A and B are shown apart, each in its own frame.
Chain A
Amino acid sequence: MRWYWIDRYIEFESGRYAKAVKAISAAEEHLHDHFPDYPMIPNTLVIEGIAQTGGLLVCEHGQFTEKVVLAKISKARFYCEAVPGDLLTYTTTIDQIDKNGAMVSATSYKGEQLHAEVQIMFAHLADDQVSQTLFEPESYIRMMRMLGAFDVGHSADGGPLVEPPAC
């Protein structure tokens, strides 16, 4: 099983916001383990998808040089469940970002219906706090490439989002 909790980016503006979609399928095994005979995506995995959407946004802002970790979920409010057949749209916006970390606000919509509101804090780890191999820029760039971020993305000045060189 691959730890991808979004399917594709549909919008990405460097340093500002990113939007991604997640299609819920009955073929996903974990949907069936939450409540017997009532498949739904666990809210924790929605948060993980939102964290991936916003986490890569934060990573890209730092040109993949920072070691970005999900440090805290400051808020998570769910208004309904998401079941097989639903398409969730996660919109993540950077509220604040500096050398210590970033605060990201997010929504999840199920069509026109507000599904969840989440606020996540990311921290930038110091070099001596963690193994370098856990934070190889190439793995994040590959993930962004696979999820289409460079196909739909824009830089802060409106130009196309470009992969960093020599990664």
Chain B
Amino acid sequence: MPTKEEIFEKIQTALIDALGVDDDEVTPEATLVGDLGAESIDFLDIVFRLEKSFEIKIPRGELFPEDILTDGQYVQDGKVTEVGLEELRKRMPFANLDEFAKNPAVQDFGSLLTVADMCRFVEGKVEVTG
């Protein structure tokens, strides 16, 4: 059972390898897209590395529920609706959506996810000690 520090270190390694960033760039507050330069295809790379590193399975859309953003039921005029936000909160309990909810433009969603969010996501999938 890993500690929170060990989870962070493994995620840091996965992001360094997947995104070619330096270790000091991978801080808990760093956003994957905005700060670390992740592109959409990198998420598959990151998911593969997390699955291998933590021996877990991450179904498509669990870490990054992009299907919501293309669903007319949840998006209107380029913004996620209240129902969509509710669905996002349900699907992403590990992420803080408060800031995004103030102006939920779909194009800004990619910049939402932080390293700390990913740590919480993994902590929810493995047993944590300490």
Contact = CB atoms under 8 A, between A and B. Distances in A.
Given A96-B48, A96-B52, A74 B18 contact: yes
B71 interface: no
Nearest to B42: A72
Interface residues of A, number: 12
A95 B48 CA distance: 9
Given A72-B41, A100-B60, A121 B48 contact: yes
Contacts of A99: 60
Interface residues of B, number: 11
B118 to A, nearest CB: 18
A166 to B, nearest CB: 30
Contacts of A116: none
B128 interface: no
Given A96-B52, A121-B44, A123-B41, 19 more contacts: A71-B41, A71-B44, A72-B41, A72-B42, A72-B45, A74-B17, A74-B18, A74-B45, A75-B17, A95-B48, A95-B52, A96-B51, A100-B47, A100-B60, A101-B44, A101-B48, A103-B45, A121-B45, A121-B48
Interface of A: 71-72, 74-75, 95-96, 99-101, 103, 121, 123
Interface of B: 17-18, 41-42, 44-45, 47-48, 51-52, 60
